[in-house]
Structure 1
């Protein structure tokens, strides 16, 4: 019927700051401590906390928390370094927890 109003977006659940595009999702099969999470090629309007080495389900990583720039809520994490060769594809990518993002323009 007509043109869509723009790209499908994800926003911070607290303040509605736009943090990711639906087209940037690589995988919806990620798990966080609190449930489902999505892996994105890149996210926007966020800043990263300090890096820390963390043992996750698939191995050891250097990760940093991803915070909303507007309300400072932690929305997920970024993979800064993967130590397992098979997990290197995650480097530089971010995971956002599903319950902390809301759909816009759907």
Structure 2
């Protein structure tokens, strides 16, 4: 069996566009709109939509939906601002819904 060379990637489930690295996962215990989600420090090949205030499970946040840059599928959101001090660590981070991403075929 060949050893994996290069980083482990997550892809858009629809078009297989690379959207994040496995090593950028901060937490796997988040909740998305449609179930479990992962919190990532970075995302790539995504477009960021307009900012809006949303009342989430952990309080009021300013977020922007993120979509795959290739197929426009909404994959999650970016935390732009957290209003509660305990939630500030999320600012600038990305939620990718588990159902909307897949592991790259190489791992």
Distance apart, 1:4 and its partner CA: 1.6
- Please give the secondary structure, in 2, of the residue aligned with 1:89: helix
What residue number does 1:43 align with?
A: 43
Stretches (4+) displaced over 2 A: none
Q: Deviations over 1:49-96 (max 9, x none)?
A: 100001000010000000100001100000000000000000000000
Q: How many residues align?
A: 106
Matches within 5 A, 1:68-87: 68-87=68-87
Q: TM-score, normalised by structure 1?
A: 0.96
Residues 1:65 and 2:65 are matched in the alignment: yes
- Please give the secondary structure, in 2, of the residue aligned with 1:70: coil
Matches within 5 A, 1:1-106: 3-104=3-104, 105-106=106-107
- Please give the secondary structure, in 1, of the residue aligned with 2:72: coil
Q: Which ranges of structure 2 fall in alignment gaps of 5 or more residues? A: none
Q: TM-score, normalised by structure 2?
A: 0.95
Once residues 32 and 45 of structure 2 are traced to their aligned partners in structure 1, the CA distance between those partners, rounded to angstroms, is: 21
Once residues 54 and 22 of structure 1 are traced to their aligned partners in structure 2, the CA distance between those partners, rounded to angstroms, is: 27
